[in-house]
Amino acid sequence: MPPVNWKAATKVYCRSFFDHFCPCLLCGKMSRSLLCAQCTVLLPSLQGPLCRCSLPMPGANNSQPPPLCGRCVRRPPPFAASHAPLIYSHPLDRLIQRYKHHGDLVCENALEQLLADMPLPWPDTDALCALPAHWQRCWWRGFDQSQRLASQLSRLWQRPLLPALLRQRATASQQGLKRTQRERNLRQAFRCVLPMAGLSITLIDDVMTTGSSARAASRTLLDAGAREVNVWTLARTLPPSRR
């Protein structure tokens, strides 16, 4: 029997311990995962009935098709439906911001942990498509968060991920812009580079704020021949009146 390398053995046992026990990113308590079960359960989720754009519709019933908010009545979105399992608020917003703006890949792993129990809402989906960032923003951040999210969901949901959309011009940051400014900012921002004829596409993004980006990208996919576009985002920002 070969002699025990105690230094190597100690490293293995220490690594095994920290692989199974680490502080929860939200509360700091020791956990077997990056987000403890208690914090995961307490993350704010969207409850129905919801508009097609995933805004809560208090007082409405869970009808099919879903009720529409005032904006969607005036200007119906080009996508058929949207789904956001979580609300973009504390503490989820902190995780997303640390990942998106500071490249914290530990937070990315925590977000991937949340995806594990999230089913595909539209079983007839043919393929997924990420809502892309412009190459300059990807270069600045070092990655495209929507593309990475879509890659995870592609593996989880067993659907192909199509690099169909190109952000053909650098737009100003959408943060802090009013809805009309966002829509103006996104005019002709996307181009479809793959044939979409007859496909049902699920468009993937991390957060939906006003839905302007999702509208513009969905319209581009439909103009390229897609049969239907649905939008999936990890979280939905709610206006103050809906919180």
What band does 20 get if pLDDT is binned at 50, 70 and 90? low
Containing 222, the helix (H) or strand (E) segment is: helix 212-223
Spatial neighbors of 109 by CB under 8 A, at least 6 apart, are 34
Distance CA 134, CA 185 (A): 13
Residue 115 lies in a domain: no
Contact 165, 130 (CB under 8 A): yes
Contact 122, 204 (CB under 8 A): no
Residue 219 lies in a domain: yes
Q: If you write DSSP's letter for every residue of 51-67 in order, what string do you get?
A: -TTS-B-TT----SSPP
Residue 98 lies in a domain: no
pLDDT single digits (tens) 119-150 = 999 999 999 999 998 778 778 788 899 999 99
Count of structural domains within the chain: 1
Containing 110, the helix (H) or strand (E) segment is: helix 105-115
Residue 230 lies in a domain: yes
Residue 17 lies in a domain: no
Residue 132 lies in a domain: yes
How many other C-beta atoms can be found within 10 angstroms of the C-beta atom of residue 239?
11
The CATH code of the domain that includes 141 is: 3.40.50
pLDDT single digits (tens) 174-222 = 455 565 655 566 667 899 999 999 999 999 999 999 899 999 999 999 9
Provide the domain limits for residue 209: 46-84+120-242
pLDDT single digits (tens) 68-123 = 899 999 999 999 999 999 999 999 999 999 999 888 989 999 999 999 989 999 99
Residue 23 lies in a domain: no
State whether residue 182 is helix, strand or coil: helix
Residue 107 lies in a domain: no
